Structure 1
Amino acid sequence: MKNVKLKGKQFRHMHWVYPMAFLCLFSSPSWAAESLVSPSGAEQSKGILVKGTVFDEDKLPIIGANIMVKGTSLGTITDMDGNFNLTVPYEDAVLTVSFIGYTTKDIPLKGQRQLNITLVEDSKTLQEVVVIGYGSQKKTTLTGSVASVNVKELSQSPSANITNALAGRLPGLTVTQFGGGEPGKDVASFAVRGLSSYNSGAQSPIVIVDGVERSLSNLDPNEIETFSILKDASATAVYGIRGANGVVIVTTKRGISQSKPTVEFKAQVGMAEPVSYPDYLGSADYARLYNQALKNDNPGWEDDPAVQSRLYSDEMIANWARAKGDNTDGLGYNIDLFDYAFRPAIQQNYTLSLRGGSERARYFAMIGYFNQDGNYRYSDLNDAYSTNGGFKRYNLRTSLDVDITKNFYVSVNLGGQITDMNESGGGSGNIIFTANTTPPIYPVVLERNGHPSNETYYTDHPSGLLFGNSQYTKNILGEIAYMGYKTTHKINFQGNFIIGHKLDFITTLIPQHFSLTLFIIS
């Protein structure tokens, strides 16, 4: 292979070129050259082989450029020398050539078999403004390592907490969730470029919202304008040692100069449930394996009556194999506790915003409502309260910017959240533990057996007694419905008043300003 001079921007993509090439070699048949599908969907008996090379403006080959037959799923990528081979279904096909940082190009073949394609850098991408530690810069003049995410992607995510919506959206950002996933508790922790300290309290990056260190958890994605992460030393230098683990900078939405008032309403309604539940064995299989384990642990079990008395009989195992599961047929229980205890829940999110401005004043206002129900069944057996998980959040965000003169301005900002959370008194950990450890052969509720000593209990539990024994003391219905409940109510508001003066007359390269800020935090 000949030597290729690689530009800096090409070198940075070397890490994912090889995996992409591997995927193309071993992907589904729709990518293979033999699967020839025309835009009309008709199969062709044989295709046309097209070869070519993709260059940049300096005539250097581009590694990993995408070449697709427009209107089909046929495609390939360029190799280390920028070359590609692609079988197209017809002579008049159009090739779409694309690469990150370059303008996508459509190439009509018109019978050509050999192509030399030149891609032009996307100037719009380079002119994008990125928020940094001391203001904002265009990507063309940015030297530090800064990553930004498209805020529209965050607002489209159905996650209850914005920290969960960040997973997989930014390079160098590791997102993990340990909160349990209950409504109001599904907060994820995140680290920039891995963990740099063994101190659990000093591993997370600092979060700056509108210039002030604040929590990111309860922000509504619809009130965010930009979301950036400063990763390397040059980008985080302004924050000193506090920026050692990276810096997350969030700016909220503001009014737009000389813009008509715009009212926007968004509504999202969906169902929330776990991706999957554990798939445990039924009662018959459990009994067979229990017998086998007991025999393995007790050599000579054939002559030990104590061991034999603990074994399940063949008749019991046969009955469990044929049982409906609820013992209405008299063959025993075969209960899936996850199916018994959990159900899908409704999740809702509504936002209403007003945005606009004149030449001298700009304004933005938004209110939001988020509601997430819990996933427990049988949580409403008590008329006085519910033991189901639940989370409600009310968001408020307003901002007003007024230019007193050309360089003198005043800004007023107010934002906050009101949250209400409800959860089972026993905690989700006990509920999950009970569902994971209780064998399917045992019932949840015992039917009324008419014994006089039990009659007093039926007064409080007319539907039956909760099952339990010396080994399995926790009952999943008792953990959900009869352990009480806990509620948490929080109010959090932040506001600031800014008086500032632009200092562009001192330095014109980077706009600077002097401001006096008064904070109101509750």
Structure 2
Amino acid sequence: MESKNRSLKWRNSILRCLFLSLFFSSTLITFAQVNVSGKVVDATGETLIGVNVVVKGTRQGTVTDIDGGFTLSVPSANSTLVFSYVGFREQEIPLNGRNFVSVTMEQDTELLDEIIVVGYGTQRRTSVTGAVSTLSDTELLKAPVVGVTNVLGARVAGVTSLQQSGQPGQDAASLLVRGEGATYIVDGVIRSINEIDPNEIESISILKDATSASVYGLNATSVVIVTTKRGKDGKLGISYNGNYGISQNTNQIKWLDGPGYAYWYNMAREMDGDEPVFTSEQVEKMKAGVDGWGNTNWYDEVFGTGSTMNHNVSATGGTEKVKFFSSLSAFQQKGNVDNFNYTRYNLRANIDAKLTDQITMMMNVAGRLDEHDRPNYSANPNDWHNIPQQTVRALPYIPKTITADDGKEYYTSTHTASSPVSPLAAIYESGYNRPRNTTIQTNFSLNYDAPWMEGLSLKFMGAYDKFFQFNKSLTIPFKTMIGALPSATTETISYT
């Protein structure tokens, strides 16, 4: 008996030690992460959106929100945070036990001698008194971009981008600069900027204050100035740039399947004091896909994976007298929904010629051909019976196709509170809409440097744009099989 009692005591001691060790280890794990928050501003006190905040030596990080704030879990209260942002010096801030930090980002001093474009010419950054932000071509091309406006909101302080559509060719973002709309200038002329190939752009300047109104009028509360690339003297240089990417819906929404829909529909009716509609036998038929029942995830059937592809070939060269830059690019988008496609071809030629010692000529010619291809039913949220709307209203206990009495297979439709919906038939059988746009843009300028006064110059500039549109559409009447609404006694769903 004594030996047994000793063994039991020994075992109890071991169990206590194991329990205490597990308790302390879990406590250490629980308190290993420390939550840190903070705010990031520039030298003027303006909040910076999209600043990268990373724990030094790790890949753990976040970005600042619209108010310049951030929250991050760090390994310890003595970790070091690294702050980086385009156009500003990278900073390392030790926490030293703090759980809140205020950071003021300083502009990169190496950029102070940078030549930037403003409304009345070019200046060194150190001479600019207004609020101006710039984005160079290397910063613009750091990552594949769909359009110019889509990248400005993420990389320039005080600029917010709003993308209202994800359709190929219609996914350009609108920009708000300090809460106001912007005027867009391309090589001195008011034009749209999102259809420009980013490979053609030399720099982008954003005028954010009264400087804009002083040059472009009171309606221009802010101005986005795009300067395209110019030729360089020397041997002919040819470059190629290409990228490929895929796209998916950011938030993959999870929808009820057929059995799940039946359960919650019955539950809602019971809470209202009504009899349930769906029986267990009907649910089994949904799973088996028999007698007209089905189990269709319409969201997965409609939304898939899209792709984006861009190829660009550019050439530059010339002499001290004549220089040129030319660019040819092809851009293609395949939508997340089948039969939504967009293709764009860009061509640009910029020529600089020194006619005399005082007279310089500049000529720009740009052409663009863009083609849209979509079903007769659109994906615009404001359009009646748009495809996403049909997708979310389709009932999941109906199969996507059914074989009719004539032996042919048809897409199914489901009843709604208004008209029946059939998202797959709307995509594949409704016809098509294919607008094609052709745009030609030209600039011409002569610049005269007055020999009798240093710094005085006279400039004449003219522009001519031409736009053509050809729209080809086909509406096809199509047949679907509409499933009848079931009751508790329904064994086989009938279709008409």
Deviations along 1:250-291, one digit per CA (max 9) or x if unpaired, are 1100012x3332110111122222223211122222212111
Whole-angstrom distance in 1 between the partners of 2:92 and 2:248 = 39
Are 1:12 and 2:57 counterparts? no
C-alpha deviation, 1:488, in angstroms = 0.7
Give the corresponding residue for 2:72: 27
Within 5 Å, which residues of 2 pair with 1:185-224? 185-195=170-180, 204-224=181-201
Structure 2 CA distance for partners of 1:370 and 1:101, relative to 1, 3 Å: same
Structure 2 CA distance for partners of 1:206 and 1:336, relative to 1, 3 Å: same
> Which of residues 443, 453, 457 is equivalent to 1:506?
453
Within 5 Å, which residues of 2 pair with 1:52-451? 66-67=91-92, 75-76=94-95, 100-101=106-107, 122=109, 124-178=110-164, 180-195=165-180, 204-244=181-221, 246-256=222-232, 258-297=233-272, 299=273, 301=274, 308=275, 311-317=277-283, 320=286, 323=287, 327=289, 332-377=293-338, 388-429=339-380, 430-448=386-404
For 2:91, the aligned partner's letter is N
Structure 2, unmatched stretches of 5+, are 1-40, 56-60, 63-69, 81-88, 381-385, 467-496
Secondary structure at 2:409 match in 1: coil
CA contact (8 A) 1:444 1:476 kept: no
Secondary structure at 2:219 match in 1: helix
C-alpha deviation, 1:345, in angstroms = 2.6
Whole-angstrom distance in 2 between the partners of 1:521 and 1:317 = 63
C-alpha deviation, 1:470, in angstroms = 6.6
Whole-angstrom distance in 1 between the partners of 2:360 and 2:421 = 64
Secondary structure at 2:153 match in 1: coil
For 1:518, the aligned partner's letter is G
C-alpha deviation, 1:131, in angstroms = 0.8
Secondary structure at 1:182 match in 2: coil
Secondary structure at 1:295 match in 2: helix
Secondary structure at 2:347 match in 1: strand
TM-score, L = length of structure 2: 0.72
CA contact (8 A) 2:115 2:124 kept: yes
For 1:225, the aligned partner's letter is E
CA contact (8 A) 1:497 1:519 kept: yes
Secondary structure at 1:293 match in 2: helix
Structure 2 CA distance for partners of 1:358 and 1:431, relative to 1, 3 Å: same
Give the corresponding residue for 2:426: 479
CA contact (8 A) 2:373 2:433 kept: yes
Give the corresponding residue for 1:116: none
CA contact (8 A) 2:285 2:294 kept: no
C-alpha deviation, 1:375, in angstroms = 2.9
Whole-angstrom distance in 2 between the partners of 1:12 and 1:266 = 38
Counting aligned pairs with the same residue, the percent is 27
C-alpha deviation, 1:14, in angstroms = 7.7
| Cα RMSD, aligned residues only | 3.4
For 1:143, the aligned partner's letter is T
C-alpha deviation, 1:215, in angstroms = 1.0
Structure 1, unmatched stretches of 5+, are 1-8, 36-63, 69-74, 85-97, 103-121, 196-203, 302-307, 378-387, 449-453
CA contact (8 A) 1:157 1:165 kept: no
For 1:240, the aligned partner's letter is G
Whole-angstrom distance in 2 between the partners of 1:132 and 1:78 = 45
Whole-angstrom distance in 1 between the partners of 2:251 and 2:379 = 17
C-alpha deviation, 1:433, in angstroms = 0.7
Structure 2 CA distance for partners of 1:504 and 1:287, relative to 1, 3 Å: farther
Structure 2 CA distance for partners of 1:397 and 1:11, relative to 1, 3 Å: closer
Structure 2 CA distance for partners of 1:158 and 1:26, relative to 1, 3 Å: closer
CA contact (8 A) 1:391 1:421 kept: yes
Structure 2 CA distance for partners of 1:10 and 1:217, relative to 1, 3 Å: closer
Whole-angstrom distance in 2 between the partners of 1:269 and 1:427 = 26
Secondary structure at 1:334 match in 2: coil
Secondary structure at 1:242 match in 2: coil
C-alpha deviation, 1:237, in angstroms = 1.0
CA contact (8 A) 2:78 2:97 kept: no
CA contact (8 A) 2:340 2:373 kept: yes
Give the corresponding residue for 2:463: 519
C-alpha deviation, 1:515, in angstroms = 2.0
CA contact (8 A) 1:144 1:235 kept: no
C-alpha deviation, 1:66, in angstroms = 3.0
Whole-angstrom distance in 1 between the partners of 2:142 and 2:79 = 37
Whole-angstrom distance in 2 between the partners of 1:192 and 1:34 = 35
Structure 2 CA distance for partners of 1:475 and 1:502, relative to 1, 3 Å: same
C-alpha deviation, 1:13, in angstroms = 4.9
Count the aligned residue pairs.
396
For 2:184, the aligned partner's letter is V
CA contact (8 A) 2:78 2:96 kept: no
For 1:290, the aligned partner's letter is Y
CA contact (8 A) 1:446 1:467 kept: no
Structure 2 CA distance for partners of 1:181 and 1:99, relative to 1, 3 Å: closer
Structure 2 CA distance for partners of 1:66 and 1:248, relative to 1, 3 Å: closer
C-alpha deviation, 1:491, in angstroms = 0.7
CA contact (8 A) 1:363 1:401 kept: yes
C-alpha deviation, 1:225, in angstroms = 0.7
C-alpha deviation, 1:161, in angstroms = 2.4
For 1:366, the aligned partner's letter is S
Deviations along 1:180-205, one digit per CA (max 9) or x if unpaired, are 2111111211121104xxxxxxxx31
